[in-house]
Amino acid sequence: MTRPVARALAALAAALLLVPGTAPAQAWPARPVTFVIPFAAGGGSDVLARILAEPLSQRLGQPVLVDNKPGGGATIGADFVAKSQPDGYTWLYTSPGPQIINPHLMKKLPYDPQKDLLPVARLGTFTSVLAVHPGVPARTVRELIDYAKANPRKLNFASAGIGSGSHLASEYFRTVAGIDIVHVPYKGTGNALQDLIAGNVQMTIDSLAALQPAIKAGQLRALAVTTLEPSPVLPGVPTLADTLSGFDASPMNYLSVRGGTPPEIVERINREINAVLAMPAIRERMLGLGVLPSASTPAEIGAQVLSEQAKWKKVIELSGAKAE
């Protein structure tokens, strides 16, 4: 090859790199990433997303911008990501709602939960707690079940609303335990917690982050956590699985992107998230929120989403819950 020809080829290659769509995949990310949170600012999901965004920005060399798009049981934010470009620049902080619960709870979604959203990496599992008012004569899960069986429909369980995680977790408990308890839905965890502390309702299953202050103050009694492993934040409190084998009802949170995103970008995002979850400082902050960090491959989180869909479909059908 002559020098003039070699120089011409080199110039052509350099020019091609400037043409959109011809840069190699390794160039990703070349601009800021938007991390969509389908909930209002200040909640547990929002706090965790912001904890992760800073180190992810450092590792990617581009800002990871948190963008709250609340409403519609997380469908508004999910729909925004589902209709974004499949280029890895728009992420969804995914709670169980968009892909696992809402397809069975809502008559129609504005997106295809199977095709439009692609699970990329597990972020963590929020620890939930089965808690009762101190006036309930039960100090263990077994005692609570026995009391409920001896007194059908005497116990009321509070939730953050129909179809919420607290509602479905309690329905799951009711079904597995074989007890007859009454659901009292509220508009949010705050209102439910207020009535629970006052003794107007007797029990709930909700996030550790929300219930922990009342538990520490002695206003509520923690009977069990809903994860398969005990929580270091509540030492001495057993798991529900200790009484009801295999019981697991803690919300899994993960990151999704638009379906069709190139595999090499999906793998890169997964790799960086797993690296951040392994950082001791990040793990400590997450555990303090009652969130168990849990790394995964894209295939593992995809399989878990399918498994969770099947489990919660049964719970929703048994409960008869429907979103308005």
User: DSSP of 77-92, one letter per residue?
Assistant: HHHHHHTS-SSSSEEE
Which of 35, 62, 30, 31 minimizes the C-alpha distance to 47? 35
Rounded to an integer, the average pLDDT of 296-303 is: 96
Q: Where does the pLDDT of residue 191 fall: very low under 50, low under 70, confident under 90, or very high at 90 and above?
A: confident
CATH of 128-242, picked from 3.10.129.10, 2.160.20.80, 3.40.190.10, 2.30.40.10, is: 3.40.190.10
Q: Which residues contact 132 (CB under 8 A, 6 or more apart)?
A: 138, 144, 202, 203, 220, 221, 223
What pTM was estimated for this model as a whole?
A: 0.78
The alpha helices in 228-279, defined as continuous H runs, are: 263-277
Q: What is the pLDDT at residue 23?
A: 42
pLDDT at 121: 97
For residue 285, what are its two tokens?
Answer: 């902050």
Q: How far apart are CA 286 and CA 292, in angstroms?
A: 7
Q: Are strands 128-132 and 156-159 parallel, antiparallel or unpaired?
A: unpaired
* Residue found under tokens 């995103």: 261
Q: Facing residues of 157 across strands?
A: 183, 203
- In the chain, count H helices and then E strands: 12, 11
pLDDT, the chain, mean = 88
The pairing of beta strand 64-68 with beta strand 33-37: parallel
Cβ atoms of residues 211 and 126 within 8 Å:
no
**Could you report the per-residue pLDDT of 118-138, keeping only the tens digit for each?**
999 999 988 899 999 999 999
Query: Fold identical between 29-126+251-319 and 128-242?
Result: yes
Distance between start and end Cα atoms, the chain:
71
| CA dist list (Å): 151 to 119, 144, 174, 324 | 43, 10, 14, 31
CB 38 within 8 A of CB 8: no
Half-sphere exposure of 101 (CA within 13 A, CB side): 26
Beta bridge partners of 118: 257
pLDDT value at position 208? 87
Token duo for residue 32? 């800021």
pLDDT beyond 70 at 185? yes
pLDDT surpassing 60 at residue 295 = yes
* 29-126+251-319 CATH choice from 2.40.30.10, 1.10.760.10, 3.50.50.60, 3.40.190.150: 3.40.190.150
**What is the C-alpha separation between 62 and 49, in angstroms, rounded?**
16
CB-count exposure of residue 97 (10 Å: 0-12, 13-18, 19+): buried
Tokens of 173: 């408990």
Which DSSP symbol is given to 40?
-
Using pLDDT thresholds of 50, 70 and 90, give the confidence band for residue 302: very high
Matching residue, tokens 């997106």: 111
Please give the pLDDT value at position 13: 45
* Three-point CA angle 60, 65, 71, nearest 5°: 135
Helix (H) or strand (E) holding 123: strand 117-126
Please report, for the chain, the start and end positions of each structural domain, with discontinuous segments joined by +: 29-126+251-319, 128-242
247 has pLDDT over 90: yes
Q: Kindly write down the DSSP assignment for every residue of 155-218, as one continuous string.
A: -EEEESSTTSHHHHHHHHHHHHHT---EEEE-SSHHHHHHHHHHTSS-EEEEEHHHHHHHHHTT
